[in-house]
Amino acid sequence: MVSARTVASAVTDPELPMLTLADLGVLRDVDVDVDGRVIVSITPTYSGCPAMDTMRDDLDASLRAAGYRDVEIRVVLSPAWSTDWITTEGRRKLVEAGIAPPGSAPRRSAGPIPLTLTAPAKVVRCPRCASTDTVQLSEFGATACRALRRCRDCGEPFDHVKEI
Amino acid sequence: MFDNAYEALNAEGDTRWAFGTGFADPLSGMDTAVPAGVDAADLAAYCLMLGDDALIMSHRLQQWCTCAPELEDEVALANIGLDLLGQARLLLARAGKADGSGRGEDELAFFRSDREFRNVRLAEVTNGDFAFCVARLLVFATWRLALMQRLVDSDDPVLAAIAAKAVKELAYHRDYAARWVVRLGDGTELSHARMRNGLDAVWSYVEELFAAHPVERRVGVDPSTVRAEFDGVLTEVLAAATLSRPEVDGLAGVSGHSGRDGVHTEAMGYLLAELQSVARAHQDATW
């Protein structure tokens, strides 16, 4: 029997099917208790992530198909998901799919979060031509976790997983 | 694995998803016991307040779909509405578990009347133009961000975890709205005038945000304690936008009661009719 962790780690994200839930850092833990029950913990990327139900069903179905009869999927909210948890492999797959991976998540010091009245300058490499001459079109893109950018060299628009 | 999303949603034999009900409990598998020393009824009432703010504001943002001035902004407003809807789901679910009623998010969203909603009136007011939209969003997100940052230290670990996620999202919402207020305020004569009107129209709902309800004082954050922080952010944005601070009186309540007491404006009934009518007309319907 394939280990529960291996099975769960292979389940892909419904919206970015080139990445696994493990690549995204959404899969937090896989445990098998003394009674043989598999307990999988997942965390949502954003509060409103509409893919959570599908992820839950996909994990459940994959584990059952692999022979695990007793499966429980738990949601953990804390600590809150960060793009820093996307693995190196996950970042490579994002670029391959034409999506720019996130930079480092902002480090929050104590006290109010400073206002940014102009989009902060950051170096984001075009996933198509590798140019760093890219510009943000919108901080909100096709899904909650992505911003929309355009490359000034090759002219192509692309998604960028924004840092949180 | 499923061939399509519909199959996946029906996997547990629950076919009520079609009008937005029947989703899995967003707190499923979490320890939702109310910690010792926290009053469960107060906690539930407080989560309902914060959840209703998010639900109603999300509904107003969703109404911008197909109406926004540019595609990018349509996507942005929908995304912000989705974040708030997610926060609302978590907070309503938390309220239903804390008060011991066993009411789920759907029951709370679809089967309460306007007097049972606890959102501030700022969230419910009918959408005006885009200037009103970004002015309201700036005020709402700045206020809510300050509250959520403090709630990260809530005695209730579930509320603290919800707040920690919300902080990351609200910082994006606030800055999006602030940049538009600056762009329109410091734009043309016409955009400046319309931004001025939008801000004035929003301002009568600002006082209410900082008037503490007894429940907020007991179990949450007294909103009057975040007023200085809110004023600081607004001062910075308005200066960059070449706008002065509105001199508009706060909208009075009814015998001192307002949104947090379930006393709403006329707009609330119409909003709830749109939000709830399908679920109410087809209770327990299956597809």
CATH at residue B77: 1.20.1260.10
User: Under the phi-then-psi rule, with left for phi > 0, alpha for psi from -120 to 50, and beta for the rest, what region is A124?
Assistant: beta
Find the domain containing B247 and state its range: 39-281
**Residues B93, B29: contact at Cβ < 8 Å?**
no
What domain count does chain B have? 1
**Is B229 a domain residue?**
yes
Cβ separation A56–B24 shorter than 8 A: yes
Predicted local distance difference test score (pLDDT) of residue A142: 84
Whether the CB of B83 is below 8 Å from some CB of chain A: the reply is yes
Choose from B28, B89, B168, B236 for mutation: most chain A CBs within 10 A. Answer: B168
What tens digit of pLDDT does each residue of A7-51 get? 999 999 988 899 999 999 999 999 999 999 999 999 999 999 888
Helices (H) and strands (E) in chain A, counts: 4, 7
**Is B287 a domain residue?**
no
**Residues B106, B279: contact at Cβ < 8 Å?**
yes
What tens digit of pLDDT does each residue of B91-143 get? 999 999 999 898 999 999 999 999 999 999 999 999 999 999 999 999 999 99
Name the strands in the sheet holding A157-161, side by side, starting at the edge strand that comes first in the sequence: A99-100, A157-161, A146-151, A134-138
User: Under the phi-then-psi rule, with left for phi > 0, alpha for psi from -120 to 50, and beta for the rest, what region is A137?
Assistant: alpha
Predicted local distance difference test score (pLDDT) of residue B18: 43
Residues of B whose CB is below 8 A from A76: 29-30
Choose from B79, B91, B97, B186 for mutation: most chain A CBs within 10 A. Answer: B79
Return phi, psi of residue A27, to 5°.
-80, 110
Cβ-based neighbour number of residue A41 at 10 Å: 18
Average pLDDT over residues B9-23: 49
Q: Model confidence at B286, in pLDDT bands (50, 70, 90)?
A: low
**Is B203 a domain residue?**
yes
Predicted local distance difference test score (pLDDT) of residue B283: 82
Bridge partners (DSSP) listed for residue A157: A150
What tens digit of pLDDT does each residue of A42-65 get? 999 999 988 888 899 999 999 999
DSSP A20: B
**Is B257 a domain residue?**
yes
Give start and end residues of each alpha helix (H) in chain A. Answer: 4-9, 21-24, 52-65, 88-96
Choose from B73, B90, B94, B172 for mutation: most chain A CBs within 10 A. Answer: B172
**Is B13 a domain residue?**
no
Q: Tally C-beta pairs within 8 A across A and B.
A: 139
Percent of chain A with pLDDT over 70: 100
C-alpha to C-alpha distance for A21 and A126, rounded to whole angstroms? 24
Which of B176, B178, B154 minimizes the C-alpha distance to B234?
Answer: B178
Q: What is the pTM of this model?
A: 0.93
Predicted local distance difference test score (pLDDT) of residue B156: 97
Q: What is the mean pLDDT of chain B?
A: 92
Tokens of A49: 């992530």
Bridge partners (DSSP) listed for residue A99: A159
**Is B21 a domain residue?**
no
Amino acid found at B253 = G
Nearest to B9 among A41, A53, A74 (CB): A53
Predicted local distance difference test score (pLDDT) of residue B19: 44
Residues of B whose CB is below 8 A from A58: 1-2, 8
What tens digit of pLDDT does each residue of B63-88 get? 999 999 999 999 999 999 999 999 99
| ipTM for the whole complex | 0.92
Whether the CB of B152 is below 8 Å from some CB of chain A: the reply is no
**Is B1 a domain residue?**
no
Nearest to A48 among B9, B27, B86 (CB): B86
Contacts of A59 (CB under 8 A, 6+ apart): A8, A11, A21, A40, A42, A71, A73
**Is B19 a domain residue?**
no
Nearest to B2 among A57, A73, A144 (CB): A57
In the block, tokens 């404006």 appear at B265
Predicted local distance difference test score (pLDDT) of residue B16: 44
Identify the structural domains of chain A with CATH numbers, from first to last. 4-75 (3.30.300.130), 86-103+119-161 (no CATH)
DSSP H/E element including A158: strand A157-161
